[in-house]
C-alpha cells in the first residue's frame, strides 16, 4: 500500500508505504478510507502467516482465504496494524470490495467456492453453485473473534455472473 502526494516531486511526495502479507501470495483488491488516516483493505491470501490482530479467524482455513485488514497510516511499525483477520472456508475465498458505514463497520464483497464459509444470521446458509458471491459485515473495533463478525452471507450467484463489488 502506497500513499503519495502527486503535487510534490521526488521522495518528498511519498507519504506512506508498507508491505503487507505473509510468505505466500497476498493480493489487496479493495480499499476504503476511514477517519484520521485509517485504511481498510480486503483481498485474498494463500499465506499461512498473514499478519492478524484481534482476528475473527486467526488462521487460513483453506488454500486461499479472503482477508480484512485495518491500518492506521499515522502510526509507524506494528502498532499501525489495528485489525486483521482471515475470512474463509475450506476452498478458495476472495475479498474483492470494501466500504465503510458511519460506524466504521466494514462491508466486504467477494466470492467463494467453500462449503464451510463462516456464517451468522445468513440470508443463504450454504453454497448454491460452484462459485458464489459473499457479503460480510465486520466491526474491526469489536472484541476478538466472533464479536467482530456481524453478518456474513452467501447470496446466490453462478460462475458465469460477474463478481459483486462495493464501491
Distance CA 24, CA 10 (A): 31
pLDDT computed for residue 164 by the predictor: 47
Q: Does residue 163 belong to any structural domain of this protein?
A: no
Distance CA 96, CA 6 (A): 26
pLDDT computed for residue 15 by the predictor: 86
pLDDT computed for residue 149 by the predictor: 66
Which one, of 1, 126, 117, lies nearest residue 62 by Cα? 117
Stretch (H or E) spanning 16: strand 14-17
Output the CA angle 17-19-21, nearest 5 degrees. Answer: 155
Q: Does residue 110 belong to any structural domain of this protein?
A: yes
Please give the residue range of the domain that contains residue 92. Answer: 26-153
Per-run averaged pLDDT (10 residues), the chain, 167 residues: 87 90 97 91 97 93 94 92 93 94 90 86 83 87 65 47 48
Q: Does residue 133 belong to any structural domain of this protein?
A: yes
Amino acid at each position: 500500500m502506497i500513499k503519495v502526494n502527486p503535487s510534490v516531486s521526488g521522495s518528498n511526495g511519498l507519504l506512506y508505504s508498507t508491505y503487507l502479507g505473509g510468505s505466500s501470495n497476498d493480493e489487496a483488491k479493495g480499499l476504503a478510507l476511514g477517519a484520521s488516516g485509517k485504511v481498510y483493505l480486503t483481498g485474498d491470501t494463500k499465506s499461512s502467516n498473514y499478519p492478524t490482530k484481534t482476528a475473527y479467524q486467526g488462521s487460513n482455513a483453506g488454500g486461499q482465504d479472503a482477508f480484512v485488514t485495518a491500518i492506521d497510516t499515522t502510526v509507524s511499525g506494528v502498532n499501525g496494524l489495528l485489525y486483521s483477520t482471515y475470512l474463509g472456508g475450506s476452498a478458495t475465498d476472495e475479498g474483492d470490495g470494501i466500504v465503510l458505514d458511519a460506524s466504521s463497520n466494514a462491508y466486504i464483497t467477494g466470492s467463494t467456492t467453500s462449503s464451510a464459509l463462516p456464517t451468522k444470521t445468513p440470508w443463504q446458509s450454504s453454497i448454491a453453485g460452484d462459485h458464489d458471491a459473499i457479503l460480510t459485515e465486520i466491526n474491526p473495533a469489536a472484541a476478538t473473534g466472533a464479536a467482530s463478525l456481524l453478518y456474513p452471507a452467501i447470496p446466490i450467484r453462478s460462475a458465469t455472473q460477474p463478481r459483486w463489488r462495493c464501491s
